[in-house]
Structure 1
Amino acid sequence: MLPRHGVTPALVYEARQRIAGRVVRSPLVRSAALSARFDADIHLKLETCQPSGAFKLRGATNMIAALIERHGRDALNAGVTTASTGNHGRAVALAASRLGVPAVICLSRLVPDNKVAAIEALGVEARRIGRSQDEAFGEAERLVRDQGMTLIPPFDDPLIAAGQGTIGIELMEDAPELDQVIVGLSGGGLLGGIGAAIKAIRPGTRITGVSLSRGAAMWESLRAGRPVEVEEIESLGDSLGGGIGLDNRCTLALVDEVMDDHYQVSEPAIAHAMVDLLEHEKMLVEGAAAVGLAAIAEHQIEVRGQRVALIVSGNGVSLETFDRARRMANR
């Protein structure tokens, strides 16, 4: 019997075969500085190496390619669309252009200009709607309804979560003795997919989620036991903003099943982590990619003696945003 969220290990392994050669098998590198600082063996999974700059290319490529396999390319003649806080939109744009499918990407006005420009540079339309992910998603739904486009959800679909879950397979191949994986958590496709893969291979590995301190829809939804709406608030970790959808069918149940620990991180903690990663690892990353380090530092998560992987999820940060983080960290 399929689990209610629909994400099985078999689906993740199918995604791995489907996206092979279309996405980067990202490196897992040991951080000497962080390992010494926390008396642990800390590794960084560098999804910043993806051509789109973030992990989202895995899920988007898997879903579009799977739809073509199942229904034929003509089924996507009207194009694909999605709503995004930036990284998923860029991934859909890149995956669609590579697979010869038209695309329209809907974004809220809170999405930073640099992420909008990155999408437009791929030759697809970036349509800005409202001040929340939910408003942008409403426009994507209208394009599906009125123009016959196909929706590529940012997270709430088994094919998307399975695509992101290929990271978990790679982690288990490169570091089979991992004690803990720390993952940024918003809609749940990344953490849920990784967790589904890892728990099937090594159930004892702990999956730790990290959410924003404000505007964290998954945090509030898990507490309520059902999807809830939250106000979307501007954050250094903007990729972790947005709702999970009141009709969430996949990721709420998936995250609830595979996640062992959950923390919220403050803006100053994110700022410090972004600066630390640049100073010590020479990595300029977005706030959402730094929340694993932020959580260890802010909450003093017990990692001593453990082998830990932090998912460095994306590099979509403007110099203006990083400068804001630097000023916050220096206060």
Structure 2
Amino acid sequence: MEKVVSVPCLNYDKEHLRRALEEALAPLGGMEAFIKPGEKVMVKPNLLRASPPERAVTTHPHLVEAVVEMVLDIGAKPFIADSPSLGPWALVVKKTGLLKVSERTGVPLVNLKDPVNLRTPQGFFFRVLELAKEVFECDKVINLPKLKTHSMTVMTMAVKNLFGCVPGHRKASWHLKAGMDREFFSTLLLEIALTVKPCLQILDAIWGMEGNGPTSGIPRFIGRILASKDPVALDASVMEAMGHELELLPVLKAAKKRKLLPPYQLIGDPPKIKDFKLPKSTSPSPPVIGRLFRSFFIPKPKLRKELCISCGECEKVCPAKAIKIKGGFPSIEKGLCIRCYCCQEICLQGALYF
């Protein structure tokens, strides 16, 4: 039975974080149960875009730093890595506070941009995946997700965070292949998780995001850190704490179907998030309806013209090429839109909604 540990952590103070992390990892054997001296360790936070820590869009830099220091204390060689979907790498690491973490600790920052073909252990849909070469070259991966809502996947936590191991613009091609098929996309996420094989997941649930995440939601204080060896078990424990059926999260529905949802034991008090606001796009279509009519049940992005600054970023990021700038404003071709909500993610002004 997998263990999921939940401990209180009320702020991002360095000493407070270190104590909370040690408490969270103790039932799992401590950091030394996962990392050995001399190992090359990829620390994988959520660095979706260039947002300041208080927006709760990315894993807090102080949590990343605390984990990095624990790895250094063992005598291992950590590096901090991700492949942001939105914005240039230099701006992302500066705005999120990770550049200062690197400067203080001497730990390198790595933009995951060079792909290699890695064979998947299960091969449900894919025999080979293009993932960042650093996944292949490192000894261990520590997964540091942020507890947030997500307009396409309902929540982004441990499993979804590993999508960041797909280099750069290749993420868009996967969105396009998946279209509105959430089962396909969720199975892809599971295959990535099985291929990356993170040894440890530590969820930043001190401040999370509710509402229309992963970028336009509302920061929500939760005051917890959760840790587990298993990313699926960790995600399931959070959905259970919310009081929802596990199948509401598409990736857990896919995991259950593929017999990848392990039995788990929650150690510690669950997060108090029964009233956590999910995205408006959450309501699933009834299974009997099937894929043919799914587009009627999943909301399409809409534009608030008064907030739009006509930057054109939504047009650039749309994997389906469903957005064209006309008359200075984005126009969305409804028949082409695949409801991936990449446009909503990239819009810093909150002009696109659903």
TM-score normalised according to structure 1 size: 0.38
Bigger Rg over Cα = 2
- Judging by fraction of residues, say which structure has more strand: 2
TM-score normalised according to structure 2 size: 0.36
